Structure formats: C-alpha cells, structure tokens
Amino acid sequence: MNLLFIGPKFYNYHEIIKNGFIKAGYEVDYYDDRPSTKYIDKVLLRLNKRFLTNKINKYFNEIKRKVANKYYSVIFVLYGQSFNSNMIRELKEVSPKSKFIFYMYDPICSMPDRLEFSKEFDRRLSFDYNDCEKYGFEFLPLFYSDDNLNNNLNNNFIYDACYIGTMMPGKYILVNKIISQLEEHGFNVFDYQYIQSKSVALFYKLKSDDFKNANFSNFKYKRMTNQECDNIVNDSKIVIDCPKEGQNGMTIRIFEALAANKKIITTNENIKKYDFYKPENIYIFHDAIDFNDLFFKSEYVKIDKEIKEKYSLNHWIKEILKGV
C-alpha cells in the first residue's frame, strides 16, 4: 500500500509521522507543504501566498508530475500551508481512488483559509475540540512518540521546571510571569525561549506591546533538536506549557510531558476536559501561582497505561487511517 504524505518540516515530527505510517504497513512518499524552508519565504507565506504564487505553482506541478503514475491508497495532508483547493482537486484527478485525509494542528483562527481548503477532503480532523464543534472536524488530539516514554519516576532532577518553546506575541508575558514567579520561590528553571532570528525579535518588539520591554539576550536563535528537548524534559520535574493565542487544543508538549511522567504548568484551561487531568499533576496558571496548591504539595500521580496509550503515535496513526 502506498501513502502520499504532505506536511511541514518541523523539528523532526514529519519523520516521526512518516515512520508511524511505515510501521502501519505503508510505503510513504513525503513532500514538504511549502516550496521553500527559507525564512523569508516562510514569512511571505504567512503574510500573503500571492507573493510566492509562481514558486508554489512550480513546486506543486513537480509533485503532481512525480505522483501521477503511482496509485496511493491514502493522500494525507497535514496543514498543507501553501496548497489551495484547486491543487487538491487536481490531485484527485490524477489519483481518483485515493482516500484524501486532512489534519489541522493549529486553530482555524490562525489560518482561516484552511477551513475552506479542508472541505476538499474525505475526512477532516483537528486537534482543537472547539474547532471540531464549530466546523465539523473529527477530534483527534496530538501525540507522543515512543522516544518520549520515560518510566523513571525517581526524584533525581537537575531542574525543578523547564520551558522550551517558540516565543511569539501573546505568550511572552505569560511565560515570563510563570518563570519569574517560580524563580522568586527558589525554583531552578531551564528557560529556552526560541525565536527564528533577531530580525523577528525586532519585528515583535516594534509591533507588539508584549515585546516592548523584552531583553533580546533572553532569546535563543537556534532551535533545539527533539533529542535535546527530551533530555531537558527528562531532567526536569515540571514542564511549562503556554499555547498560542486563540488555541484551545493541547500542544504536543503536553503529550510529551504525559509520556515522560512529568508535572505540567499550563495556561490552557481546556486541559481539565482530558481524561489524564489530575490536579496533583497539572496546574493551570492564571495570574499568580498559589504555591500552597495541591500540585506543589503532592508527588506525581501515575496515569493508567490505557489512558496514556490513547495519546500515543500508534493510536494517532490508527485514527488517521480509520476506514481506509
């Protein structure tokens, strides 16, 4: 069985997903959903795709030429940032018997054009429960991979807490409030606030009130590898999570922390709706941390294996391929 996978290169999650499909018995052809990973092209793609029309069309036509003579049981599109509805229709013409499946890992409010785009697919899934209720997607949270599993429940931690994430407006003040309050209380916090470049940091500083008093020395301009992230998480007692503005779905960091048996401080109130939620393990930050809360007074409570398995990559792949 053949599967065509189109999605972004982000850390190495595209490889993790590709290997998940291979493990499920598929031969996988993978293509990035963007014609270029150059920073300027990524910015233009976000601002207005028309700036890259020629490059996008050339890239898509090359993909279509390569896949035209091959039968795919499944054509799976993750986000599909540079693709439009007409391109999916063209793929249907060259592969009419394929099952077309779409997955969204960002809220629709961050990329509104993905809503109309998604209507070209046989199945539409999203990580965001609110978007599923509002727009008719199937709900499927993100996942952890086997690399994230850590059955060591000892208390030999290097860090009391860690934050590893991409910094952007809407997150900066919240993340730094959490970190400063923890540090003022004597916590040793590993803090890695990633921004794509100094020019992006400057842009945020000029355009966003959040960043007006930001210190550029706080930011890191080199992305950590998945392995480096896993190592820091394993060396930490608590993982700090802060989704982007408008996001209700859980970030992938939540499930990686779940797999690693870590406590979580998050700004996402919706985590209470999930079956792995326990107040001993998860603290929801609003404005001021209550260090007398049960979260800080109790040890980690182990989550049932059956519950954790629901958020594994294997389960996620099975749900994506359901009905194929």
Q: Of 16-30, 154-168, 293-307, which range is least confident?
A: 154-168
The closest alpha carbon to 55, from 70, 40, 67, 66, belongs to: 40
Taking residues 8-29, what's their average pLDDT?
95
Are residues 125 and 153 both part of a single domain? no
For residue 264, the model assigns a pLDDT of: 98
Q: Which residue has the tokens 């503005």?
A: 245
Are residues 150 and 297 both part of a single domain? yes
Q: How many other CB atoms are there within 10 angstroms of residue 127's CB atom?
A: 24
DSSP output for 172-229: HHHHHHHHHHHHHTT--EEEEEE-S-HHHHHHHHHH-GGGTT--GGGEE-SPPPHHHH
For residue 53, the model assigns a pLDDT of: 82
Under a CB-based contact definition with an 8 Å cutoff, are residues 224 and 110 in contact? Answer: no
| Boundary (domain end) residue, out of 124, 140, 156 | 140
Domain extent for 274: 146-309
Q: How far is CA 3 from CA 30, 76, 143, 243, in A?
A: 9, 7, 20, 31
Please give the backbone phi and psi of residue 52, each rounded to the nearest 5 degrees, phi first: -120, 20
Number of H helices, E strands in the chain: 13, 12
CA angle 159-188-282, nearest 5°? 70
Answer whether residue 316 is part of any domain: no
Pairwise pLDDT comparison (306 vs 39), residue with the higher score: 306
Q: What's the rounded Cα separation, in Å, for the pair 201 and 221?
A: 10
Residue 90 sits in a domain whose CATH number is 3.40.50.2300
Answer whether residue 228 is part of any domain: yes
Q: Which residue has the tokens 């499930």?
A: 255
Strand, helix or coil for residue 139: strand
Answer whether residue 321 is part of any domain: no
Contacts of 235 (CB under 8 A, 6+ apart): 157, 158, 159, 162, 190
Answer whether residue 314 is part of any domain: no
Answer whether residue 208 is part of any domain: yes
Are residues 57 and 173 both part of a single domain? no
For residue 46, the model assigns a pLDDT of: 62
Answer whether residue 250 is part of any domain: yes
**Residue 74 CB burial class (10 angstroms; 0-12, 13-18, ≥19):** buried
For residue 169, the model assigns a pLDDT of: 86
Please give the backbone phi and psi of residue 226, each rounded to the nearest 5 degrees, phi first: -60, -40
Are residues 20 and 47 both part of a single domain? yes
Taking residues 78-99, what's their average pLDDT?
95
DSSP run (H or E) holding 4:
strand 2-7
| Boundary (domain end) residue, out of 95, 113, 140 | 140
For residue 153, the model assigns a pLDDT of: 62
Confidence class of residue 42 from pLDDT cuts 50, 70 and 90?
low
Are residues 209 and 303 both part of a single domain? yes
For residue 301, the model assigns a pLDDT of: 96
Q: How far is CA 308 from CA 80, 130, 211, 232, in A?
A: 29, 22, 37, 21
Please give the backbone phi and psi of residue 139, each rounded to the nearest 5 degrees, phi first: -85, 125
Q: What's the rounded Cα separation, in Å, for the pair 258 and 107?
A: 22
Looking at the structure of the chain, the number of domains it has is: 2
DSSP class of 300: P
Are residues 11 and 47 both part of a single domain? yes
Q: Of 37-51, 134-148, 307-321, which range is least confident?
A: 37-51
Residue 296 sits in a domain whose CATH number is 3.40.50
Are residues 164 and 278 both part of a single domain? yes
Are residues 130 and 180 both part of a single domain? no
Under a CB-based contact definition with an 8 Å cutoff, are residues 22 and 28 in contact? Answer: yes
pLDDT above 90 as % of the chain: 76
Are residues 112 and 151 both part of a single domain? no
Are residues 286 and 239 both part of a single domain? yes
In DSSP terms, which residues pair with 92 in a beta bridge?
none
Are residues 135 and 151 both part of a single domain? no
| Boundary (domain end) residue, out of 140, 171, 203 | 140
The closest alpha carbon to 196, from 49, 7, 43, belongs to: 43
Answer whether residue 262 is part of any domain: yes
Please write down the long-range contacts of 33-37, taking CB distance under 8 Å and 24 or more positions apart.
33/6, 33/7, 33/8, 33/77, 33/78, 33/79, 33/80, 33/81, 33/82, 33/83, 34/8, 34/81, 34/82, 35/59, 35/82, 37/9
Q: Which residue has the tokens 């592969």?
A: 95
Q: How many other CB atoms are there within 10 angstroms of residue 250's CB atom?
A: 25
Answer whether residue 323 is part of any domain: no
Q: Which amino acid is at 197?
A: S
Are residues 132 and 264 both part of a single domain? no
Taking residues 67-91, what's their average pLDDT?
95
